[in-house]
Chains A and B, each alone.
Chain A
């Protein structure tokens, strides 16, 4: 047992997926699920080898949305890359912006004023709420609930997107953070509207939970399926709600102390079993914690500038060096690795995508289960193809 309480026994060959033998009756069927598939959150393909209904082998194939984001990043200036970070994880554009702004601020040694930090936290937590609600909605749609929970989730998402639109100008591709703060200030009218929305959120989550928590089909299809062991999760670089559902207490907001998260009291929900039900419950509980952070932040929001007055916007050339900056995005650990050589463009611009790395263990989780479970397990990983392929 290591000091964090995680069992670290090493089984033989534990860091490769186990080999499942078929029982020898009948032929093996090779199916390509995707890239056009109703339940693969985008253009994603899984080459599955089936023995009847059981999965023997699974190989994910992606690259169908590879838009050479990193090469674009290296051919443009630092600020020109900010709208492209919106398109990475296109559900959560504001947290992508924050991760990039954080990395560049570390590289250039810039300070961020307090009001900007509070606004960043408010927007990031609103993003987290709407992302988790949409994920649960999509997961239930794949279970066969054909759109109705998704409609409830999107109803709340529309309210949050209205807030984003009135503040940043766009519903989805917000492009709001800058190096040294935020682009525009939030008016008192916007803060009132936000408070109203946040006050209505607990009722929505209660309603969502009431319909789903004791639902027989959900419990039968999710409990015990797609189990991920904590030691494998840590070794495979899994992060975010998937890691915490396996019982590992690692939330970058608490570990790295970035931004002003130290000032808020919030808990980190952990799961016991690491199955789909735990991932779903961890996301529900995280939504509640996000609401409590939002209430604290809205109460304590100070006045002041939202942009560092010493920040250089034109001809921004950070000194040579490199940095790796990361935040707790709703999907996991989103990091940016930048190498600067003193020119206006980054020399190397690398995105550490949480969804791409969370897919490493897809094969391990799906082996031995039915084809119908593969769709659910894949939905519980919560990926976005824009981030996987960049």
Chain B
């Protein structure tokens, strides 16, 4: 019974026109998956986590001009236990990287990461640095990347909407279900240690692999 209703293809049991007719009569028909995802994507609460210059654009996005609260992120919670989304805004340095991974581990599933700005994606303009981590996706999985230095507030809003679309398309069962519904997926990511010359390990093979250089 469960298989036929929440199967791999998300076709509804009810025809589209019938759905509209019923809607006019006051009967609302949907799938649990759509309802579940709608609730989750309309109330993403980010964590107040600003690292560097992109944090100022993030703050400007929450201010009166480019209000982010109308997309559902009503409050920015300082505590990771109460937040759904971590916006890595700014350069992640090697000194800060263990703390970022620890904070990510402390967030409760379902949790998402937006890498905002060039520095969070790949090290950015400070890539040739002995203390700069060349992209936060070396240690934690990232859902949306926003390029820019700093990205405009409108770009951050678009990233938010992209994340909302991604959440909308998540299945509840089957192969493609998200991490928080999968018992085999890792819940905690290993925290790097401070080594003598570099972080130890320099990257996490589970989340980041070296791209092939085609010559």
Contacts and interface: CB of A to CB of B under 8 A. Distances in A.
> Per the CB under 8 Å rule, do A and B touch in the complex?
yes
Interface of A: 35-38, 42-43, 63-69, 71-72, 75, 83-84, 87, 90-91, 150-151, 154-155, 157-158, 171-173, 385-386
Contacts of B52: 42, 65, 87, 90, 385-386
Contact of A155 (B65, B91, B126): B65
Contacts of B128: 72, 75
B152 A68 contact: no
A276 B56 CA distance: 24
8 contacts: A37-B78, A42-B52, A43-B96, A64-B96, A64-B99, A65-B96, A68-B129, A90-B53
A154 B63 contact: yes
B94 to A, nearest CB: 9
B131 interface: yes
B90 interface: yes
B64 A171 contact: no
A386 B53 contact: yes
A154 B48 CA distance: 18
B159 to A, nearest CB: 17
Kindly list the 8 A-B residue pairs having the minimum CB-CB distance in the complex, ordered from nearest. A90-B53, A38-B78, A154-B63, A67-B126, A64-B96, A68-B129, A66-B131, A158-B65
Contacts of A83: 125
- Please report whether the interface of chain B is mostly helix, strand, loop or mixed according to DSSP: loop
Interface string B109-134: 00000000000000001101111100
Nearest to B96: A64
Contacts of A151: 63-64
The size bracket of the interface on B is 20 to 34
B137 interface: no
Contact of A173 (B49, B53, B95, B132): B53
A36 B99 contact: yes
Contacts of A71: 129-130
Interface of B: 48-53, 55-57, 59-60, 63-65, 78, 90-91, 93, 95-96, 99, 103, 125-126, 128-132, 149-150, 152
Contact of B93 (A38, A67, A155): A67
Contact of A154 (B60, B99, B129, B131): B60
Contacts of B59: 150, 154
A249 B57 CA distance: 35
A69 B50 CA distance: 20
A171 B152 contact: yes
A68 B125 contact: no
Contacts of B55: 42
A150 to B, nearest CB: 7
B211 to A, nearest CB: 23
Given A43-B96, A155-B65, A67 B129 contact: yes
